[in-house]
Structure 1
Amino acid sequence: MAQNHDVALTVNGLKTFMYTNKRCNKAVNGVSFQIKKGKTLCIVGESGCGKSVTASAVMQLLPTLSRIEEGEIIYHADRGDIRIDQLPRNGRQMRAIRGAEMAMIFQDPMTALNPVYTVGFQIIENLKYHTALKGRLLRDKAIDLLRSMGIPLPERRVDEFPHRYSGGMRQRAMIAMAMACNPKILIADEPTTALDVTIQAQIFELMDRLKKEHGTAIMLITHDMGAVAELADDVAVMYMGNIVEAGNVDEVLRNPVHPYTRALLASIPVLGRGRNQDIQAIPGSTPDPFDRPTGCQFAPRCAFASDVCAAMPDETFVTDTHRVMCWRYEEFAHAAAQ
């Protein structure tokens, strides 16, 4: 995969396997992508397709019984390239990068915050480790971060424990903690899951401002195709540990050439068409990760599957920036062009 000075993170052929009861789940099985400075890469797909595992691998936050088997994770820092995949998970260098230069907004705010420490203490802990702020300035910064997230009475809330926060407020506190040091790479794993639509818009606006003002590279994991259309510069569609289609947002959303991408778009209701619109659910469900089909992983659910799908398709470039893993992609590309 080509690299240039505009790229903040490069992932090449990443394979992340998880082991349990003498069985192996190939959760991420050969994923490659780049996140560019000042751009947003949206990763979409159904639950269980490897999106969050990919994010955890990039941050070196994988569970104990899992490991990176193959591939490269390269952070293009100002001081030179750093192979994240070769760093010890809890080593000094990885701890210095994690939270300051690379930050992550976790999906579940109910368990991400430590219940025995105040929210302010947990935000200040990050600032104390990664910034030069001291004393009262640390508390003032924590209050400003909570205020920027729309949390009412931040001067009081900063001293409260997580159980005093609602689910939406906990998520906003997590986002404040992640954005505290203006990271160069921000990984957001469904950051607005527990928030109402008004706060969702505020969070997305804040992330967009961070991207524009600080050149932050953002990796956004989401199920919301509306958010993808609004925020994404590039899109990667994941299914069962593989990126089955990727490209810039116009290529993927306007000219999808993989049946899974087309099925995802067909399953979304369109505002203004009323309750009688034809919403086509994707048949079946994702297969058991310990009992995967041979060949194309989507074939058992695909209306266009044929005998050739018994073998795993190679990755093919439709254009210089649009790639797909499908034996029959040319038929969809030709249909879209007509």
Structure 2
Amino acid sequence: MENETIISVKDLKVFFYANQRCNKAVNGVSFQIKKGQTLGIVGESGCGKSVTASSIMHLLPSLSRIESGEISYYTPEGEIRIDRLPKNGKKMRTLRGAEIAMIFQDPMTALNPVYSIGFQIAENLIYHLSMKKKQSKQRSIEALREMGIPLPEQRVNEYPHQYSGGMRQRAMIAMAMACHPKVLIADEPTTALDATIQAQIFELIEQLKRNYNTAVMLITHDMGVITELADDVAVMYMGNIVESGTVEDVLRTPAHPYTQALLSSIPVLGRGKQQEIEPIRGSTPDPYNRPEGCQFHPRCDYFSERCLAMPSEHAINATHTVRCWHYEKVLNNGKG
């Protein structure tokens, strides 16, 4: 059924501990991913996007832990609380790759250099779908062909270093989609790829979504990608979702100064060299020495004493929410 929630995250807190210091990498994040829909998570580097994705996959590093919150995966048989499952337990290993798959940011480090691409795709099929070796190899060839990789019968026996950057990313997508998962998490899947290859990879993800009604969580720092591909969007900053809603809501009427700043920093096609690009003032704070209250206030043009307390979530309409004391002023372009 369309628009049915398949992943629900409620008040998730993930903290990292190192050298007797605590980094609250994700600090109270809530959102839903729906079947056949794309949720875009957008924000600068270091704001907690990839940590959120790793939490859903239960692939957090050893120095981190889920402090509190819920991660629920809904199946026809009922709800599965991912946050309560052992990281390397049988149930989580069954879900990971078969039901919930991930395209990692850097395929060169995500792919194993000592095994062929075909072996790495087939391994997934043998473990999750109990395929025979010959059958799994044939399915691996088909998966590479679906991704538009030329000569898949030959390429299936090649190693990651023999693939170009774009082809490695396609191989990663082939591996992620081999078992036709219900949820696909794409963590900046086109980093360091040229624009033509980016467009092809995004078209492949859209095609897979249409064919299998897959729910997609797309992590990116590119608002242009969000405009093209996402149905809903959540804007993250320093471990918090500061604004969320439909793409129409958030991009047409941004209510948080950070969302406005992100949109102002993007060049617009057709406006030529004369257009002014406004970089976001300042830089993200030290995660071990955070500002009080609203994390964005040291960089914000709307700062007031009130911002030294963390703002609560305000509903602008049924689908659009924001965490900002001055959201009405932001919506009115500084007036009111």
What TM-score, normalized to structure 1? 0.96
Q: Which amino acid aligns with 1:84?
A: I
Q: Which residue of 2 aligns with 1:101?
A: 99
Quick one: which amino acid aligns to residue 232 of structure 2?
D
In 2: Cα distance, 1:336 partner to 1:177 partner: 48
Supply the RMSD in Å over aligned alpha carbons: 1.6
Paired letter, 2:263: L
1:47 aligned to 36, 45, 48, which one? 45
Q: Is 1:270 aligned to 2:268, yes or no? A: yes
Q: Which residue of 2 aligns with 1:213?
A: 211
Once residues 177 and 334 of structure 2 are traced to their aligned partners in structure 1, the CA distance between those partners, rounded to angstroms, is 40
1:118 equivalent in alignment to 2:116: yes
Partners of 1:212 and 1:271 lie apart in 2 by 28
Counterpart position of 2:249:
251
What is the aligned counterpart of 2:132 among 131, 134, 145?
A: 134
CA distance in 2, matches of 1:145, 1:166: 17
**Of residues 82, 85, 88 in structure 2, which corresponds to 1:87?**
85
Deviations 1:86-125 (A, max 9, x none): 0000000000000000000000111101111111100000
SS at match of 2:317: coil
| Aligned mates of 2:303, 2:92 — CA distance in 1 | 44
Q: Is the 8 A contact 2:6 2:34 kept in 1?
A: yes
Q: Tell me which residue corresponds to 1:327.
A: 325
Matches of 1:202 and 1:169 in 2, distance apart?
11
Q: What is the number of residues matched between the two proteins?
A: 335
Q: CA deviation at 1:150?
A: 2.2
Distance in 1 separating the partners of 2:208 and 2:115: 28
Give the match's secondary structure for 2:23.
strand
Asked whether the equivalents of residues 3 and 36 of structure 2 are also in contact (C-alpha less than 8 Å), the reply is no
Quote the Cα distance in structure 1 between the aligned partners of 2:20 and 2:327. 37
Shift, 1:298, TM fit: 0.3
1:204 maps to which residue? 202
Task: Give CA-to-partner distance per residue, 1:119-162, whole Å, 9 cap, x none.
Answer: 11000000111114323221111111112222222111111121
> Is the alpha carbon distance of 1:251 and 1:230 closer, same or farther for their aligned partners in structure 2, counting shifts above 3 Å?
same
Distance 1:98 1:135 in 2: 21
Q: Deviations over 1:48-88 (max 9, x none)?
A: 00000000000000001100000000001111100000000
Contact 1:255–1:336 (CA under 8 A) maintained in structure 2: no
- 8 A Cα contact 2:105 2:187, kept in partner: yes
2:65 is paired with a residue whose SS is: strand
CA–CA distance in 2 between the matches of 1:165 and 1:23?
41
Unaligned runs of 5+ in 2: none
Of 283, 307, 310, the residue aligned with 1:285 is 283
CA contact (8 A) 2:122 2:133 kept: no
The equivalent residue for 1:227 is 225
State how far apart, in whole Å, the 1-side matches of 2:113 and 2:211 are.
Answer: 33
Query: How do 1:158-237 and structure 2 match up within 5 A?
Result: 158-237=156-235
Q: Could you tell me whether the CA contact under 8 Å between 1:75 and 1:84 is conserved in 2? A: yes
Gaps of 5+ in 1: none
Q: Deviations over 1:2-50 (max 9, x none)?
A: xx98101000000000111111100000000000111000000000000
Task: Provide the C-alpha distance between the structure 2 equivalents of 1:291 and 1:333, rounded to a whole number of angstroms.
Answer: 30
Q: Which amino acid aligns with 1:226?
A: G
Cα contact 2:267–2:275 (8 A) shared by 1: yes
1:241 to 239, 248, 252: 239
Runs of 4+ deviating beyond 3 Å:
334-338
CA distance in 2, matches of 1:294, 1:317: 23
Which whole-Å CA distance do the structure 1 matches of 2:200 and 2:48 have between them? Answer: 28
Indicate the SS of the match to 1:176: helix
Give the counterpart letter for 1:145 in structure 2.
A
2: distance between equivalents of 1:257 and 1:305? 14
The yes-or-no answer on 1:312 pairing with 2:310 is yes
Q: Is the 8 A contact 2:128 2:179 kept in 1?
A: yes
* 1:178-214, Cα deviation, whole Å (9 max, x unpaired): 0111110100001111333222222212211222222
CA distance in 2, matches of 1:214, 1:17: 35
In the aligned structure 2, how far is the partner of 1:148 from the partner of 1:198?
A: 18
The aligned residue for residue 8 of structure 1 is: 6
Paired residue secondary structure (1:229): helix
Amino acid at match of 1:24: C
Q: Structure 1 residues 326-335 or 5-14, which shifts more?
A: 326-335
* Counterpart-to-counterpart distance in 2, 1:210 and 1:326: 37
Aligned-pair CA distance for 1:332: 2.1
- CA shift at 1:336, angstroms? 9.8
SS in 2 for 1:137: helix
8 Å Cα contact 1:168/1:194 also seen in 2? no
